Structure 1
C-alpha cells in the first residue's frame, strides 16, 4: 500500500430499509489494525445522522485517497460471523426473492453473547463415529438404489423414505442419521432440516446412537440465546459436524457436504418473515453454490420436487425392496349407505380387534370437542350475535362460546328460522375420544393434539385420537390406523389441499406396524388410489399436469404485489418492458382494510427463466417507492409497496 492509497471496507448494513441493501464503502483507520472479513462493525450513516451495525464483506485498497469516505467507527468483535460463502448464499437467496440480504442474515446470525464469545475457542477436535456406527449406516444406505452414488458424487435426489420403523425409530430418522454419519466419517459436515420440534427430537435421538454428542450442533428456536450463539460459533469451525435444526438452519455457515430436507411440503419450512424464502429453495441454491449432496426425503412427493424430478434435475431414489402399507379404502356401499356412520363397520371391527393387542391410531382433522355448531333445524352456521364469529362448544352440554370474542351465547336464536336448538357440526379430537370411549369400554383412550401433546405411547392396548401432525410414535408401530374426516379435510379452499392431505395420511400410515390395516374413510378418486397403491409421486405428476395450463405454481412462479394503487401500477408498468405474456398479471383488486391510501393486490405469473429479471424489476420498484416516500415531506416513511415471490397458494 502506497502513501497515497488507503484501506477500505465494503460493509453490508444491518437495516431493513430496501434502499440500504447494498455494500457501502468506508475507510479503515490505521488504529483499528487488521480487520478480518466477516466481523461485526459500527459505522456512521450520514443520511440518518446515527451509527448503525454492519458486517465487513470485503477489504480492499484504493489509490483515490481524496474521495470523501466516512470511517469505520469500531470493530464490535474479532469473530468473523459472516463467512464469504454465507454472504453469497444470503445474497443469492435475497435476490431470488426480491428481498434484502440483511433480512436473510437476521435469520442466520444470532445476537452477540459476549460471555459465550469469550469462552469460545475455535480449535474443536474432529469427531469420528465408531466403526460399527459407520457399518450400520452404510448397510441402511445400501437398501436404497443409487443413494450411495448420490452421496459420493454430490448429486441431488428425491428420496422416498421406507414407511416402517427401523430398530424402534421412524425409518426416515434412521435414514437421515445414517447419511450424516457417513458424511462425518468422510470428514464432511451435514445439515439436516426438519419442520418442527417433534421431528427434531426424533432425529436427535437417532443421531445419538450413531455419532458422538460433540458432533451434533442443534439449531432450535427453543434454545436460549446463549445456547443458540454457542451452536452458531461451533458451526463456524473447520471441524466437521452435523447441524440439525428447523428452516433457518439451512443457512448454517458450515462447509456442507450434505444438505437433507425432511418433508419439504410442510408449511413450517416456509419462512413467515420477509423475504419469505422456503427452506427447499434455499437448499437448492446452497447445493448449486457449494456442490454438496442434496436430498429431499419424504413419504410423499410435493409438486415442487416432482417438477425437478421430471426435468431431470433431481434423481428419483427409492428402496431396492419397496414396502407398501396395507391401505383399505371405504367401499362404495359404505360411502353411499343412507345410515353411514363416521366410522364404517369395517374400520370399527378392525380397530376393535387391533385394540385388544396394542395401540390403535385414529386421525381426526380438528382439535377440541366441537369446533363448530349449526342450527338443529335449518343447519345454518351458528354465529355470535355480538361480532358474527362462529360458535363452538368445549364439551357436551357446555354453553356455546364465540371463537372470536369469547362471549357465551346462553340464549341463542337462529336468525334464519328462529330455532333455539343447536347441533354439533363437526367432531374434534376430544369429542371423538368421548364417542370412542363409549364404543370401546375398558380400552384406554389417549388424546394427542396441540393442547395435549404426546410424544410416545407404549405397546399396550389403547386408542390414540390425534390431530394431523400430532400423532405420537408407538412402540413397535400401531396395530391399526383409521383416517377419519378425509372429506372435510379435502374441502379446504387451498390449491395444494390434495397433496397436503396425502402427506398427512401417508405420514400417519408410516406409523403403523408391518401388515397393520390402515383405513381411509369416506375418500375415493385419484388421491385415495394414490395412497392405496403408495404412488404419491404419480399423484404429484398428475397435479403438476393439471396446473401447467393454468400457469399455477409450481408450474410457474408467482409474485404477489401489494400496495397503493399508484405504487402497484408503477410496478406493473415496469414489468411490461420484460415482454411477459398478456395473461401474466391477475388484478389488481382492492384489499379490504382501513389503510389510507387504499391498498390493492395483484398476482404476476412468470416462467422460471424470467425469474431473475422479474425479481430485479420488482425489487427496483420497491426501492424506488421507499426512496420516494422518504423524500416526501410530511408523509409517512412506510413503504407503500411490498413484494412477495413464490406464493405457494395464490388467491385473490
Structure 2
C-alpha cells in the first residue's frame, strides 16, 4: 500500500554556530502547507539546544520515504518571502569562498522584521514601474558617452574598470554623475542597478543627482544609518517585481533588487568597503561572486585603481574602458627652496599659490591627523610621551593644556619621561586645529574652516576661506577649490602598512579631484613613485608597478592570505590539517604562529587563488571541528570557549 509523499522543508538556521551552517530537513505539517513557501521566515525545533530557533525556508521537496524521522516546522513567522533564491545562492557561494557561514552574510543583508512596516507594505499597492523620460536618458547617454563603448559593455553584462573624471561639478563631484548616468540608462532598459559607496558623504552625492533624474519611488536607500522600520520597508521594496536603483554601503552589494542589470562599486580601495564582521567579505569580492552567478554588469570606478582591480584587469577578467579624453588636475610637487628652513611646513610656492587663490575662492589644506597636537615627545630626549596608565600616546588639545591620552582619555598632569625623567613636553606634530591656528595667523582676516572627525563638514560655499581637513573629510565646494595643498604626505607614508603608499595616493587623488579646473594642487615634501603617479595622474600604472613588486614577495593581492587565530593547539591542528588537505601549498606559505593577547596565537597562510576552494573547505572544517570539541568540553566541565577564528583575504600581512 503506497502512501502519499510528504512535504519536506529545507531550512537554513539563523545561528552563529558554524556546525549549524547547513540545510536541515523538517516535515511541513498540513496546517502550514499553504504558508510554508520558499524564502519565508520559520521557527523550527533544534534538539541539540533543546529550544525553538528561527531560520529561512530555502527549498521544498516531496519525499516518498516515510521511515526517516523528521521534526516538524514549529511555525511560519511571516508569509513574506524575504530570502529570494538568488540571494541565498550568492550568500552561500560567498560564504564558502570565505570559509564562513551563509547565515552570517544574510544577517548583514536582511533587516530584522518590523511588523508595522510589513503590514503597511502589504496593504499598499505594488510600486509602479519607473519611467525615465527622454531628456534624462539623453543626459545619461551624454555623460557616459565620455567613455566609448561603456554603455554597450554594461548592457552586455561585462566586468569593467573605469577611471572617473577628476573634477568637481556644479553641485556634486563628476564621478557621482557618471555612476548615476550608468544607473539611469540601466533603469531605462527595464533593469535594476545597485550603487555601492564607502560612506554617507559619497551616498549623499549620488542621491543628490538621482533626485533630479529619476522618480523618487525608483530610488531605494539602503544603509545602516536608517531606523529599523525604514530599513525593513526599503528591503520589502527591493522584493517587488519592478526595477529600481539601490544606493547604499558595503552590504548593499547583496541587495535582492528585481532583475539587476548592473552593480557599480565606487572606490573599492576604501577600507570601509571591507566588512569587519564575520566572515569579513569585501564588497568587491561579493560583487564578483554575484556577477558570476547572475550575469549582471559589474563596474569598478574610482579616481585611483586598486591593486586588486588592476590584477583582474591584467588577467583579462575585468576590461579597462578608458575615457575618450584624458583629464588630470594640475599637480605640483612642492619642496622647500634654498634659503627656507627645512622645518618649513608650507613651502613658499604653496604659500604663494594659496595667497593668490584666496582672492577668488576657498583653498583646501589636507592634513594627516585631527586635533591640535596628536603627538607629544619629551623636550629633552625626544622619546614619545606615553600614558602612565595604559601606555597610549599623549596629545595636547590646545596650547598649554594638560596632556591627555588618546586611548583611555586620562589626563597626565604630573607626567615625567620614562627615559630621562624630564617633565618637559614638546609638540611633535600638528593636527587640523593647530594647522588652522597657524595658517589663520599667516592669513589674517581670512575665514578658517576645520573639517575632521569632531567637526564634520560636507559642503562649503564657493567664497574665500581656508579649509583645513583631515584625509577623507574634505568638504565639497561647487565649482571646486581654487587651490589645494596636501601637507603631511611624508608622515602618511611612514605608517607601517603594506598598502600605505597605495592608500596615500588614493587620499591625495581624492583631494586633488576637488580642485577647480586649472587650479594648482601642491603635494608638499614628497617624492618617489606615489608622488610621481599623482603628478602625472597615472594611478593604473602605479598599481601595475605595485603588483610586479609584490609578486616575488608573495604579498596580497598577488596571493590570497588567510588569518587563523585561536589557542596554540587549535591553530596548530588547523595548519596540520591544511597541509594534508592542500599539498600544493608552497614552502613558506605559513607564517607563525605568533603570540597574541589573552593566550591566543595567530598564523597567516599565503596561497594561490587556484587553491582557494580547497583552503577554505579545510579551514572551515577545522572551525567546525573545534566548535564541536569545545561543546563537548563544556558539556563535561567548564572550560575555555572555542577561540578558533578564520578570516580569508586579509589585505595586509601586518594586520
Shorter-chain TM range is over 0.9
**Retained in 1: the 8 A contact 2:337–2:347?**
no
- Determine the C-alpha separation between the residues in 2 that align with 1:623 and 1:309: 36
Task: Identify which range, 395-404 or 21-30, moves more after superposition.
Answer: 395-404
Counterpart in the other structure of 2:350: 347
Matches within 5 A, 1:107-506: 107-121=108-122, 123-254=126-257, 255-331=259-335, 333=337, 338-506=341-509
**Retained in 1: the 8 A contact 2:335–2:524?**
no
Deviations 1:99-145 (A, max 9, x none): 00000000011111111111114721001122111100000111112
Shift of 1:408: 2.5
Shift of 1:638: 2.6
- Determine the C-alpha separation between the residues in 2 that align with 1:570 and 1:410: 50
Shift of 1:332: 7.1
Uncovered stretches (5+) of structure 2, i.e. residues with no partner: none
- Determine the C-alpha separation between the residues in 1 that align with 2:378 and 2:93: 54
Counterpart in the other structure of 1:26: 26
- Determine the C-alpha separation between the residues in 2 that align with 1:236 and 1:607: 38
Uncovered stretches (5+) of structure 1, i.e. residues with no partner: none
Shift of 1:391: 1.4
Task: Identify which range, 311-320 or 465-474, moves more after superposition.
Answer: 311-320
- Determine the C-alpha separation between the residues in 1 that align with 2:244 and 2:288: 21
Aligned residues: 647
- Determine the C-alpha separation between the residues in 2 that align with 1:332 and 1:316: 39
Counterpart in the other structure of 1:587: 592
- Determine the C-alpha separation between the residues in 2 that align with 1:56 and 1:378: 66
**Retained in 2: the 8 A contact 1:4–1:64?**
no
Change (3 A) 1:420 1:599: closer
Q: Per the alignment, in what secondary structure is the counterpart of residue 555 of structure 2?
A: coil
Q: Per the alignment, in what secondary structure is the counterpart of residue 78 of structure 2?
A: coil
**Retained in 2: the 8 A contact 1:626–1:637?**
no
- Determine the C-alpha separation between the residues in 2 that align with 1:539 and 1:117: 50
Q: Per the alignment, in what secondary structure is the counterpart of residue 457 of structure 1?
A: coil
Task: Identify which range, 469-478 or 401-410, moves more after superposition.
Answer: 401-410
Shift of 1:338: 4.6
Give the TM-score normalised by the residue count of structure 2.
Answer: 0.97
Task: Identify which range, 159-168 or 518-527, moves more after superposition.
Answer: 159-168
Q: Per the alignment, in what secondary structure is the counterpart of residue 547 of structure 2?
A: helix
- Determine the C-alpha separation between the residues in 1 that align with 2:343 and 2:429: 15
**Retained in 2: the 8 A contact 1:270–1:277?**
yes
**Retained in 2: the 8 A contact 1:13–1:54?**
yes
Shift of 1:211: 0.5
Shift of 1:417: 3.1
RMSD: 1.5
Counterpart in the other structure of 2:624: 623
- Determine the C-alpha separation between the residues in 1 that align with 2:372 and 2:515: 26
Change (3 A) 1:637 1:24: farther
Shift of 1:310: 0.5
- Determine the C-alpha separation between the residues in 2 that align with 1:610 and 1:532: 39
Deviations 1:159-181 (A, max 9, x none): 00001123432011000111110
- Determine the C-alpha separation between the residues in 2 that align with 1:385 and 1:332: 38
Q: Per the alignment, in what secondary structure is the counterpart of residue 220 of structure 2?
A: strand
Is 1:17 aligned to residue 22 of structure 2?
A: no
- Determine the C-alpha separation between the residues in 2 that align with 1:71 and 1:630: 25
Q: Per the alignment, in what secondary structure is the counterpart of residue 125 of structure 1?
A: coil
Give the TM-score normalised by the residue count of structure 1.
Answer: 0.97
Is 1:79 aligned to residue 80 of structure 2?
A: yes
**Retained in 1: the 8 A contact 2:335–2:347?**
no
Change (3 A) 1:538 1:377: same
- Determine the C-alpha separation between the residues in 2 that align with 1:567 and 1:418: 45
- Determine the C-alpha separation between the residues in 2 that align with 1:384 and 1:70: 59
Shift of 1:587: 1.0
Matches within 5 A, 1:46-125: 46-121=47-122, 123-125=126-128
Shift of 1:63: 0.7
Q: Per the alignment, in what secondary structure is the counterpart of residue 473 of structure 1?
A: coil
- Determine the C-alpha separation between the residues in 1 that align with 2:628 and 2:445: 70
